[in-house]
Amino acid sequence: MNVEFYSHLQQIVGTGQCQTEESMAAHTTFRVGGHAEYFVRPSVDQVQPVLALCQEYGISWSVIGNGSNLLVGDKGIRGLVMELGKMASQISVKGDCIRAEAGALLSQAAKCAASHSLSGMEFAAGIPGSIGGAVVMNAGAYGGEISQILRKIMVLTEDGQEKTLQAEELGLGYRKSCIPREHYIVLWAEFQLHPGSLSEIEGKMAKLKEQRTLKQPLEYPSAGSTFKRPEGYFAGKLIQDAGLRGCQIGGAQISEKHCGFLVNKDHATAMEIRQLIRHVQEEVQKKFGVWLETEVKFMGEF
């Protein structure tokens, strides 16, 4: 550990918001992963000085949100992990627009919208991700996606400059944006909604919650849908038709409830989950000629 670097890090964010050798299993919805060498929870205003400190000391860095679409290797992550979470989760409403900091949960933003009788964000109420992560991957569910409501975002560039980008500048597509390629850090996002009926908004959110509970294996840790939807197919149907329902490697299993989900059924390791992902890809490729791309992102050493 670089004691001088860590001391300066504590001065920026406070001693209670940074740790060394922090288990990433506590910060991912898969509940697996090794340790981060340095782990920090900055506010939006603290991201720039933390980034500058990393550059000064030559410390590599990465950013996570709620860890809901992430598989961290068992050997952990060298360098610093910034978690944009509770310390960067302010939400405000102005007219028909909602502005949410990157660490706010999508579910929180959707509930805030509903409380102001604003419609358009109902689809996001059950997605277990953060605003920043949702923008990066253009998250979506049940026919809705972030690109339909996103107005603009504020990012921090790799050299520490703040930059406002309109939605149309982000190259938003199916589970993708230009943000990872440009190495931007999302600080906040603004969404354009429209007035609606509170009872209708709440009714739609309740219906989607019921569908999610019935169809998804919420009783086990997972990262949501493991694979992207291949053009012309459904990933879960291909996996099921390949005879892989319930297939297990160690503690990792293809859900028996929904084949599009890989779950941590019994104290799985990250390597077991990664091996099962690869097995699924190879079997589906062999039987149907379709290569399944992952929605789940890999981080750290396996």
Query: What are the structural domain ranges in the chain?
Result: 3-86, 89-200, 217-293
Report how far Cα 249 is from the mean position of its chain's Cα atoms.
24
In angstroms and rounded to an integer, the radius of gyration of the C-alpha atoms of the chain is 20
**Per-residue confidence (pLDDT) for residue 141, from 0 to 100:** 85
Query: Residue 30: what are its φ and ψ, rounded to 5°?
Result: -75, -20
pLDDT of residue 155: 98
- The whole-number pLDDT of residue 251 equals 98
pLDDT at 133: 94
The catalytic residue positions are 175, 225, 295
For residue 174, give both structure tokens: 């199916």
Which CATH architecture does the domain made up of 217-293 adopt?
A: Alpha-Beta Complex (3.90)
CATH-assigned architecture of domain 3-86: 2-Layer Sandwich (3.30)
Q: Which residues of the chain have pLDDT under 50?
A: none
CATH 3.30.465.10 fits 89-200, yes or no: yes
Spatial separation of the C-alpha atoms in residues 237 and 247, rounded to whole Å: 14
The pLDDT score that the predictor gives to residue 156 is 97
If you ran DSSP here, which 8-state letter would residue 171 be given? -
Q: Give the pLDDT confidence of 7-56 residue by residue, as tens digits.
A: 999 999 999 999 999 999 999 999 999 999 999 999 999 999 999 999 99
Cβ proximity of 86 and 106 under 8 Å: no
Helix (H, G, I), strand (E, B), or coil: what is residue 197? coil
pLDDT, residue 127, reads 87
Specify whether the CB–CB gap between 188 and 132 falls below 8 A: no
